[in-house]
Chain A
Amino acid sequence: AAGVIQSPRHLIKEKRETATLKCYPIPRHDTVYWYQQGPGQDPQFLISFYEKMQSDKGSIPDRFSAQQFSDYHSELNMSSLELGDSALYFCASSLDLRPTEAFFGQGTRLTVV
Protein backbone atom coordinates (compact mmCIF):
# COMPACT_ATOMS: atom_id res chain seq x y z
CA ALA A 1 0.00 0.00 0.00
CA ALA A 2 1.16 3.52 -0.75
CA GLY A 3 2.51 5.46 2.19
CA VAL A 4 3.38 9.05 2.93
CA ILE A 5 6.46 10.05 0.97
CA GLN A 6 8.81 12.72 2.22
CA SER A 7 11.73 14.19 0.38
CA PRO A 8 14.54 14.58 0.83
CA ARG A 9 15.27 12.02 3.55
CA HIS A 10 18.34 13.90 4.69
CA LEU A 11 19.32 17.52 4.26
CA ILE A 12 22.32 19.49 5.43
CA LYS A 13 22.17 23.28 5.34
CA GLU A 14 24.23 26.11 6.71
CA LYS A 15 22.97 28.74 9.10
CA ARG A 16 20.88 31.44 7.46
CA GLU A 17 20.17 29.27 4.42
CA THR A 18 16.73 28.20 3.23
CA ALA A 19 15.31 24.69 3.07
CA THR A 20 12.22 23.23 1.45
CA LEU A 21 10.79 19.93 2.61
CA LYS A 22 8.22 18.08 0.55
CA CYS A 23 5.45 15.72 1.55
CA TYR A 24 3.31 13.55 -0.68
CA PRO A 25 0.30 12.20 1.22
CA ILE A 26 -1.35 8.85 0.76
CA PRO A 27 -3.57 8.98 -2.36
CA ARG A 28 -7.03 10.45 -1.62
CA HIS A 29 -5.92 11.80 1.75
CA ASP A 30 -6.87 15.47 1.98
CA THR A 31 -5.28 16.45 5.30
CA VAL A 32 -1.58 16.97 5.84
CA TYR A 33 0.22 17.63 9.11
CA TRP A 34 3.79 18.71 9.87
CA TYR A 35 5.63 17.79 13.06
CA GLN A 36 9.10 18.65 14.31
CA GLN A 37 11.01 16.21 16.51
CA GLY A 38 14.19 17.56 18.08
CA PRO A 39 16.92 15.21 19.34
CA GLY A 40 15.53 13.14 22.21
CA GLN A 41 12.23 15.02 22.08
CA ASP A 42 8.66 14.08 21.32
CA PRO A 43 7.15 15.29 18.06
CA GLN A 44 5.74 18.81 18.22
CA PHE A 45 2.89 19.85 15.97
CA LEU A 46 3.74 22.65 13.56
CA ILE A 47 0.86 23.12 11.15
CA SER A 48 -1.84 21.27 9.23
CA PHE A 49 -3.81 21.71 6.04
CA TYR A 50 -7.20 20.44 4.98
CA GLU A 51 -8.26 20.78 1.36
CA LYS A 52 -5.40 23.20 0.70
CA MET A 53 -6.39 25.54 3.53
CA GLN A 54 -4.55 25.87 6.81
CA SER A 55 -6.64 24.04 9.41
CA ASP A 56 -4.58 24.26 12.56
CA LYS A 57 -1.39 25.94 13.70
CA GLY A 58 1.00 24.95 16.41
CA SER A 59 4.43 26.09 17.42
CA ILE A 60 5.65 27.00 13.96
CA PRO A 61 8.23 29.81 13.86
CA ASP A 62 7.50 32.85 11.73
CA ARG A 63 10.56 31.92 9.65
CA PHE A 64 8.70 28.83 8.48
CA SER A 65 5.82 28.72 6.05
CA ALA A 66 3.91 25.89 4.49
CA GLN A 67 1.24 25.26 1.92
CA GLN A 68 -0.75 22.47 0.39
CA PHE A 69 -1.04 22.34 -3.37
CA SER A 70 -3.86 21.32 -5.71
CA ASP A 71 -2.50 17.75 -5.89
CA TYR A 72 -2.55 17.69 -2.05
CA HIS A 73 1.19 17.52 -1.65
CA SER A 74 2.62 19.94 0.87
CA GLU A 75 5.85 21.88 1.23
CA LEU A 76 7.42 23.28 4.37
CA ASN A 77 9.65 26.25 3.65
CA MET A 78 12.21 27.19 6.26
CA SER A 79 14.23 30.39 5.99
CA SER A 80 17.06 31.93 7.97
CA LEU A 81 17.90 28.52 9.35
CA GLU A 82 19.27 28.29 12.86
CA LEU A 83 21.24 25.52 14.56
CA GLY A 84 18.19 24.81 16.69
CA ASP A 85 16.18 23.92 13.61
CA SER A 86 18.13 20.69 13.33
CA ALA A 87 15.51 18.02 13.81
CA LEU A 88 13.52 15.25 12.22
CA TYR A 89 10.54 16.70 10.37
CA PHE A 90 7.57 14.42 9.94
CA CYS A 91 4.69 14.75 7.61
CA ALA A 92 1.48 12.82 8.19
CA SER A 93 -1.70 12.52 6.22
CA SER A 94 -5.25 11.47 6.92
CA LEU A 95 -8.62 11.42 5.24
CA ASP A 96 -10.63 14.49 6.20
CA LEU A 97 -11.16 15.68 9.72
CA ARG A 98 -12.80 12.57 11.10
CA PRO A 99 -10.92 10.96 13.96
CA THR A 100 -9.11 8.42 11.88
CA GLU A 101 -5.44 7.81 12.42
CA ALA A 102 -2.79 9.90 10.77
CA PHE A 103 -0.21 7.98 8.77
CA PHE A 104 3.32 9.25 9.16
CA GLY A 105 6.10 9.45 6.64
CA GLN A 106 9.63 8.42 7.51
CA GLY A 107 10.69 11.99 8.04
CA THR A 108 13.31 14.37 6.74
CA ARG A 109 16.35 14.76 8.91
CA LEU A 110 17.53 18.35 8.69
CA THR A 111 20.96 19.22 9.99
CA VAL A 112 21.93 22.87 10.21
CA VAL A 113 25.67 23.49 10.48
Chain B
Amino acid sequence: AQSVTQPDIHITVSEGASLELRCNYSYGATPYLFWYVQSPGQGLQLLLKYFSGDTLVQGIKGFEAEFKRSQSSFNLRKPSVHWSDAAEYFCAVKKAAGNKLTFGGGTRVLVKP
Protein backbone atom coordinates (compact mmCIF):
# COMPACT_ATOMS: atom_id res chain seq x y z
CA ALA B 1 0.00 0.00 0.00
CA GLN B 2 1.20 3.49 -0.71
CA SER B 3 2.12 5.81 2.13
CA VAL B 4 3.24 9.39 2.49
CA THR B 5 5.48 10.82 5.19
CA GLN B 6 5.91 14.47 6.02
CA PRO B 7 8.70 14.49 8.59
CA ASP B 8 8.13 18.04 9.81
CA ILE B 9 4.96 18.62 11.82
CA HIS B 10 5.61 22.34 12.32
CA ILE B 11 7.88 24.80 10.55
CA THR B 12 8.35 28.44 11.53
CA VAL B 13 9.85 30.76 8.95
CA SER B 14 10.37 34.50 8.77
CA GLU B 15 8.51 36.48 6.16
CA GLY B 16 10.70 36.82 3.08
CA ALA B 17 12.76 33.75 3.90
CA SER B 18 12.76 30.61 1.83
CA LEU B 19 10.64 27.60 2.68
CA GLU B 20 11.08 23.90 1.98
CA LEU B 21 8.61 21.24 3.04
CA ARG B 22 9.65 17.61 2.85
CA CYS B 23 7.60 14.74 1.53
CA ASN B 24 8.61 11.13 1.12
CA TYR B 25 6.43 8.45 -0.40
CA SER B 26 6.42 4.71 -0.47
CA TYR B 27 5.03 3.09 -3.58
CA GLY B 28 6.11 0.37 -5.99
CA ALA B 29 5.89 2.46 -9.12
CA THR B 30 5.95 6.16 -9.83
CA PRO B 31 2.80 7.53 -8.29
CA TYR B 32 0.96 10.69 -9.04
CA LEU B 33 2.03 13.31 -6.50
CA PHE B 34 0.25 16.37 -5.23
CA TRP B 35 0.68 19.22 -2.80
CA TYR B 36 -2.41 20.78 -1.20
CA VAL B 37 -2.70 23.78 1.11
CA GLN B 38 -5.37 24.16 3.77
CA SER B 39 -6.06 27.42 5.57
CA PRO B 40 -7.82 27.21 8.94
CA GLY B 41 -11.39 25.99 8.57
CA GLN B 42 -11.06 25.85 4.82
CA GLY B 43 -10.97 23.19 2.16
CA LEU B 44 -7.93 21.83 0.38
CA GLN B 45 -6.51 23.83 -2.49
CA LEU B 46 -4.25 22.18 -5.01
CA LEU B 47 -0.85 23.88 -5.30
CA LEU B 48 0.74 21.63 -7.88
CA LYS B 49 0.92 18.08 -9.17
CA TYR B 50 3.37 15.70 -10.84
CA PHE B 51 2.43 12.89 -13.18
CA SER B 52 5.42 12.51 -15.48
CA GLY B 53 7.95 14.50 -17.49
CA ASP B 54 9.94 17.40 -16.09
CA THR B 55 10.74 16.61 -12.48
CA LEU B 56 10.56 20.27 -11.43
CA VAL B 57 6.96 21.41 -11.43
CA GLN B 58 5.66 24.90 -10.96
CA GLY B 59 2.49 25.60 -9.06
CA ILE B 60 0.34 28.46 -7.93
CA LYS B 61 1.30 31.14 -5.43
CA GLY B 62 4.98 30.91 -6.36
CA PHE B 63 5.44 27.33 -5.17
CA GLU B 64 7.45 24.66 -6.92
CA ALA B 65 8.25 21.03 -6.17
CA GLU B 66 10.91 18.62 -7.34
CA PHE B 67 10.34 14.92 -7.84
CA LYS B 68 13.40 12.83 -7.03
CA ARG B 69 12.85 9.18 -7.83
CA SER B 70 16.11 8.05 -6.22
CA GLN B 71 15.05 9.57 -2.92
CA SER B 72 11.31 8.87 -3.22
CA SER B 73 10.78 12.52 -2.43
CA PHE B 74 8.60 15.34 -3.65
CA ASN B 75 9.67 18.41 -1.67
CA LEU B 76 7.82 21.69 -1.91
CA ARG B 77 9.70 24.99 -2.05
CA LYS B 78 9.05 28.70 -2.13
CA PRO B 79 11.89 31.22 -2.46
CA SER B 80 10.26 34.00 -0.42
CA VAL B 81 7.42 33.37 2.00
CA HIS B 82 4.55 35.79 2.52
CA TRP B 83 2.49 36.07 5.71
CA SER B 84 -0.49 34.68 3.77
CA ASP B 85 1.39 31.40 3.27
CA ALA B 86 0.75 30.48 6.90
CA ALA B 87 -1.36 27.33 6.59
CA GLU B 88 -1.17 23.57 6.70
CA TYR B 89 0.37 21.81 3.75
CA PHE B 90 -0.42 18.25 2.73
CA CYS B 91 1.50 16.04 0.36
CA ALA B 92 -0.62 13.36 -1.30
CA VAL B 93 -0.08 10.38 -3.55
CA LYS B 94 -2.41 8.59 -5.92
CA LYS B 95 -1.97 5.39 -7.86
CA ALA B 96 -2.21 5.55 -11.64
CA ALA B 97 -5.30 3.34 -11.46
CA GLY B 98 -7.94 4.23 -8.96
CA ASN B 99 -8.89 7.56 -7.55
CA LYS B 100 -8.03 7.44 -3.88
CA LEU B 101 -5.67 10.09 -2.53
CA THR B 102 -3.45 9.13 0.39
CA PHE B 103 -2.34 12.13 2.41
CA GLY B 104 0.69 12.71 4.55
CA GLY B 105 0.24 13.93 8.09
CA GLY B 106 0.63 17.56 7.09
CA THR B 107 3.10 20.31 7.95
CA ARG B 108 1.85 23.43 9.67
CA VAL B 109 3.72 26.53 8.55
CA LEU B 110 3.91 29.58 10.79
CA VAL B 111 5.22 32.84 9.33
CA LYS B 112 6.97 35.33 11.62
CA PRO B 113 6.83 39.04 10.77
Residues in A lying within 8 Å of B, measured CB to CB? 4, 31, 33, 35, 41-45, 48, 50, 55-56, 58, 90, 92, 94, 97, 99, 101-107, 109
List residues of chain B with CB within 8 A of the CB of A44. Answer: 103
Closest partner residue, chain A, to B90 (CB atom) = A42
- Judging by beta carbons under 8 Å apart, are B44 and A42 in contact? no
Contact between chains at B99 and A42 (CB < 8 Å): no
Q: Using a CB–CB distance below 8 Å, which chain B residues touch chain A?
A: 32, 34, 36, 41-46, 49, 51, 90, 94, 96-106
Min CB distance, B106 to chain A, in Å?
Answer: 5
- Picked from A41, A99, A104, the residue with its CB within 8 Å of the CB of B44 is A104
Whether B49 lies near A101 (C-beta < 8 A) is yes
A97–B32 Cα gap in the complex (Å)? Answer: 13
On whether A43 and B99 interact (CB within 8 A), knowing A103-B46, A104-B44, A107-B43, the answer reads no
